[in-house]
Amino acid sequence: MGRVRQMKSEIKFGTDGWRGIIAQDFTFDNVRACAQGVADYLKQSGLASRGLIIGYDTRFASEDFAAAAAEVVAGNGIKVYLCSKATPTPVISFGVLAKKTGGAIIITASHNPGIWNGFKYKDEHGASAPGEVTAQIEKFIARALAAREIPRLPLDKALGQGLVAYLDLAPVYLEQISRLVDLDGIRQAGLKVIVDSMYGAGAGYLKRLLEGGATELVEINGERNPLFPGMVRPEPIALNLGRLSTMVREEMANVGLATDGDADRMGVIDEKGVFLTQLQVFALLCLYLLEVRGERGPLVKTITTTSMIYRLGEIFKVPVYETTVGFKHVAPIMLTERALIGGEESGGYGFRGHVAERDGILASLYFLDLMIKTGKTPSELLEYLYRKVGPHYYERVDIEFPEGERQAIIEHLKESLPQSIEGVKVARIDTSDGFRFILVDNTWLLIRFSGTEPVLRIYAESDSQARVERLLEFGKELAGVK
């Protein structure tokens, strides 16, 4: 058994794991320390005997970082199921349930730019670990970083001793998906679908699920390329989906679908090449489950998602729960309340009967099923939704800032709290996660820091696009940024 010297640093988990710039913060030493932190947590919590899945995405050296983590966990005597290839986060999350492991480590930075990588821990429910769990893991990581060395069992020896075994989770996941959605109905619908896998781990999954029928599925950006060319980052928002939008128009496709770097998020381009916002898609998925499928159950939203969910809750007489940003806050409510769906503004949606975690692949299939069952195009679906809940427009702007200016921005906001915006009274100011201004007409403006990168995010939702744009400019002034 070998041992590895540690470099000292501080590692904190954000809204979804720890992320860092490759070679600067995200190093093999730091990844090994994270793996030791998880191993210690599993031993303390009595989960070590169940083993651990370790998976990874298509980023630079992700498989090597995953192997390094596996060597440390195996060095602690814990059985590791190591993914044999790049695997989507939702596939790994479901794998935790299927294999009944103590959780999973996933090497991924999700939607961040290519110079980043990350380390996620999913708990024994396959969900994003709650704050009290990651706080314990952080303490164990700090202890590992302070130690001179940590245990490690070289991969070849771990494989020989049976402490590490390679695993392909695709078959059990695909079987699960076939139970949840009418795949044959989608295959035979005769749609033309363009899928943008954004060079990520979701490549090939939708094609594999839907091939062999009258529906034609064309995949773009399905190869591995850690530079993510042609996009700022592998995040399925309008800024990064220009090629998909163009192809939908030129190919006269029925819809365009995109999954992010680790396929736990999804985005939609309508038949005209127009991006549907994540808030619109979330509301449409809620409508699909409630009206088309006739299901009932609570809806869970983060503060950055749409007020349309409250209106749908009223119409269909189901409760709505709201949380701060991060699916680690959504997942516990989904589990305890048996919620029908949980969603966040980033394009991540989780569903009852599956796993309390975001799944961009399943969300994409549900959206296709919604189109087929209603016989409506995406733009027609949006009109149908608005007839029920009224028009809602939304936009978000991201502003990078030097980390040293964080406190100055916070102080500027505290000193500038408005009582009204554009003559409309502020009914409530919510500071649970940033500064959210809720107006008497249900319009809202939110200013908060990203939990995973040095970015200030400003969000607004209102009854017209012009008003949304004015609100965003007002938000920049409030924060003292440009």
Residue 219 lies in a domain: yes
Give the pLDDT confidence of 268-314 residue by residue, as tens digits: 999 999 999 999 999 999 999 999 999 999 999 999 999 999 999 99
Q: Looking at the structure, tell me whether residues 222 and 368 fall in a common domain.
A: yes
Q: What is the strand order of the sheet 320-323 is part of? A: 320-323, 299-302, 341-344, 348-351
Predicted confidence (pLDDT) at residue 8 exceeds the cutoff of 50? no
Residue 193 lies in a domain: yes
Give the pLDDT confidence of 36-84 residue by residue, as tens digits: 999 999 999 999 999 999 999 999 999 999 999 999 999 999 999 999 9
Residue 180 lies in a domain: no
Q: Looking at the structure, tell me whether residues 104 and 64 fall in a common domain.
A: yes
Q: How far is CA 162 from CA 77, 79, 444, in A?
A: 10, 8, 55
Instruction: Report whether 358 contacts 282 (CB < 8 A).
Output: no
The rounded distance, in Å, linking the Cα atoms of 134 and 22 is 22
Q: Residue 181's CB: how many other CB atoms inside 10 A?
A: 18
Query: What's the CATH number where 306 sits?
Result: 3.40.120.10
What pLDDT is recorded for position 2? 54
The rounded distance, in Å, linking the Cα atoms of 475 and 55 is 39
The rounded distance, in Å, linking the Cα atoms of 63 and 433 is 34
Residue 179 lies in a domain: no
The rounded distance, in Å, linking the Cα atoms of 350 and 331 is 8
- Which residue has better confidence, 124 or 415? 124
Residue 132 lies in a domain: yes
Q: Looking at the structure, tell me whether residues 161 and 280 fall in a common domain.
A: no
Place of tokens 């695709």: 170
Give the pLDDT confidence of 322-376 residue by residue, as tens digits: 999 889 999 999 999 999 999 999 899 999 999 999 999 999 999 999 999 999 9
Give the pLDDT confidence of 254-265 residue by residue, as tens digits: 999 999 999 999
Q: Looking at the structure, tell me whether residues 72 and 27 fall in a common domain.
A: yes
Give the percent of the chain with pLDDT over 70: 98
Q: Looking at the structure, tell me whether residues 104 and 240 fall in a common domain.
A: no
349-360: buried (b, 16+ CB within 10 Å) or exposed (e) per residue? bbbbebbbbbbb
Q: Looking at the structure, tell me whether residues 384 and 403 fall in a common domain.
A: no
Residue 422 lies in a domain: yes
Q: Looking at the structure, tell me whether residues 381 and 412 fall in a common domain.
A: no
Q: Looking at the structure, tell me whether residues 326 and 359 fall in a common domain.
A: yes
Identify the bridge partners of residue 21 per DSSP, sorted by sequence position.
116
Q: Looking at the structure, tell me whether residues 291 and 337 fall in a common domain.
A: yes
Q: Looking at the structure, tell me whether residues 358 and 449 fall in a common domain.
A: no
Query: What's the CATH number where 472 sits?
Result: 3.30.310.50
Predicted confidence (pLDDT) at residue 3 exceeds the cutoff of 70? no
> Is this model's pTM higher than 0.85 or not?
yes
Q: How far apart are the first and last CA of the chain?
A: 54
Confidence of residue 437 (pLDDT cuts 50, 70, 90): very high
Predicted confidence (pLDDT) at residue 104 exceeds the cutoff of 80? yes
Instruction: Report whether 340 contacts 299 (CB < 8 A).
Output: yes
Q: Looking at the structure, tell me whether residues 42 and 128 fall in a common domain.
A: yes
What pLDDT is recorded for position 6? 46
Q: Which domain holds residue 126?
A: 2-170
Residue 178 lies in a domain: no
The rounded distance, in Å, linking the Cα atoms of 332 and 300 is 10
Q: Looking at the structure, tell me whether residues 154 and 286 fall in a common domain.
A: no
Positive or negative, the Cα torsion across 25, 82, 120, 277? Answer: positive
User: What is the number of structural domains in the chain?
Assistant: 3
What pLDDT is recorded for position 287? 98
